[in-house]
Structure formats: C-alpha cells, structure tokens
Amino acid sequence: MNLFKKLSVLAVVWTFGLVVLGAYVRLSNAGLGCPDWPGCYGHPTPVHAIGEISAAQAQSPTGPVSLDKAWKEMVHRYVAGGLGLLVVILAALAIKHRDRLRQSPALPVAVFFLICLQGAFGAWTVTMKLRPAIVTGHLLFGLSTLALLVWSALRQREWAPLRSGASFRPYAMLGLLIVIAQIMLGGWVSTNYAALVCSDFPTCQGALVPAMDFHDGFSLLRELGKAPDGHMLTLANLTAIHWLHRLGALITFCYLSWLAMRLYRAHVLRSLALAVLFALLLQVSLGIGNVLLQLPLPVAVLHNAGAALLLSLMVAMNFRLARVR
C-alpha cells in the first residue's frame, strides 16, 4: 500500500513534467525533429540517425529537422515511455492488491488505456504533420491523464471529511468544466500558431472586437495553416481563434475568482481556494506576458504549466467536496 501511494505521487509529478516538456517541444518547433515514430529515422537515438538528420538539414537549413530538435523530440518520447511503464506498474499493483487497497482497480486501468490512446495521438502528431486537431487532442489526453492521476493519488490518503460545503459541489464541477474548455481553446491557439495575431492588450489589433471570421478557423478536418478547401487560413480566421481564447480567459477568471472567494468566506477549503486564486492570477499574468513580450519561450512554457496546475487544483477541489460528510 505504501509503495502504491508513493508511485501514485510519482506518476503525478512525472506527468506534470511531461506536459511541460511536451509544451517546450511544441513551442520550440521541434515536434517534427524526428519525422517518423517511434524512432528517429528508424533509429533509437538521434546519434544513430545523424546521417539522415544532416541530409535533411542541408536540404532545408531552416526546416523542422536538426540535431537539436531531434534530441528534444526523442527525450520527450523517452520520458513518455517511462510514464507508460509506471502506469502499467500502477495498474498491475491495483489489480493484484485491490483487497488490501480497498479500491477498485478501474481508475488505474482506465489511465493505462488512456496512455495507450495518448501514445497513438503522439504518433499521429508526427505522421500527420502537426494537424491542429491531432496536436490539440494529444494535449488534452495528456492533461486528462494528469487529472485522473491526481484523483488517484488523492484517493491514497485518508482525508478527514468536510463538515460543510456540499452546496459547492455543482459550482466546483462547473469550474472544472470551464477550465477544461479554456484549455481546449488555448491548445487550439497554440496548435494553429495564432498566439501573436493580436500583439496588444486588452485590445486586439486596436479594437476590443476586431474583424474576425469563425467559418474555417475551428474546422477539425484540415491541415495546419489551411482551410478545409485547401486555401490558407486568413488573418480574420486566426484572429477569431485568438480572440475566443481571450474571451474564455475572462470568463474563467471571473468565475473561478468568485468561486474561490465564496469558499474562503464560507471557511471551506480555504487553503485550496487561495491556491486557485494564486494560480489564476499567475496564469492570467503569463497570458498577458505572452502577448506583450511576443511569446518568449520560457513564458509560453510556463503558461502551459500554469494550465496544468490550475486543472490539478480544480480536480483536487472537486475530490475534496465530493467527500463532504
């Protein structure tokens, strides 16, 4: 039981790090550093594929393939493989010791299948040349894995039941759904490279409501940068993607701030409510910094980490409120 508890915490930390690493790979344009899967030009490491990498780089010096980018992509795959192994161990322990754990093994087993699906999306991300729907799905499945592992890790600790707070359950669930929706919008901005379409704040292209076209920007069945009919996306399409994420950020900030203050004043999960407020302020600050500073890599990566942190905190809030006496 102690081993399972420690491995559950390790899995959460590992997954959080993997989400941040995946963001770093994507934002540093290294997603196609090795344009095949699972190896690099059929080899286990970029060192073994140095000939193919050098040839690709010579043909396109500013293209997606270089030794540096190949290593970034492969390290991400190695870390993901390690998480897969860890999840297999957790699922096996949950099944074997389900009586001692006094828990159903359904959640660890579900995480295992989710990891398999996540691996498939990781492969499709490369082989389908960064299609926005695939890359966004890859991000969402990664964060879903994190959320389930957070819930699983919280189950391993004996929590004193809350004496009050049952009335906050639907509000906390709505808050979690809002965060998930906002993460989806943020992922769509990132995978469509629409983060710098608006370089001013709080206005966008000098207006609170700029010229936008929602017709093609949110189509799922299209290639990167193109509309479903094969034409390139317009500035108005990309502006619509960026602006909708801003609107979602405003809704998320207002709702979670209200919820956290309500919990704090009601003396329910006060520390967790303050943590949500802190993460929310940090996330908004990083988002504004991305715009005003022209998307510096460290700030952009931290913005992804902030989304993972906020999601984890909302999962923890729902977990605790689900166990009100």
Q: How far apart are CA 125 and CA 133, in angstroms?
A: 9
Q: How far apart are CA 229 and CA 5, in angstroms?
A: 51
Residues 6+ apart with CB under 8 A from 103: 94, 155
Cβ neighbours, 10 Å, residue 315? 20
Q: How far apart are CA 50 and CA 44, in angstroms?
A: 11
Catalytic residue among 52, 73, 158, 223: 73
The CA distances from residue 17 to 123, 142, 229, 234, 305, in Å, are 20, 11, 38, 35, 9
The CA distances from residue 309 to 20, 62, 207, in Å, are 11, 34, 31
Encode burial over 207-230: b for 16+ CB neighbours within 10 A, e otherwise: eeebebeeebbebeebebeebeee
Give the H or E element holding residue 54: helix 50-59
Question: SS3 for 99?
Answer: helix
Q: Could you confirm whether 223 is annotated as catalytic? A: no
Q: Is 78 left (phi over 0), alpha (psi -120 to 50) or beta?
A: alpha
Q: How far apart are CA 10 and CA 21, in angstroms?
A: 16
Residues with catalytic function? 73
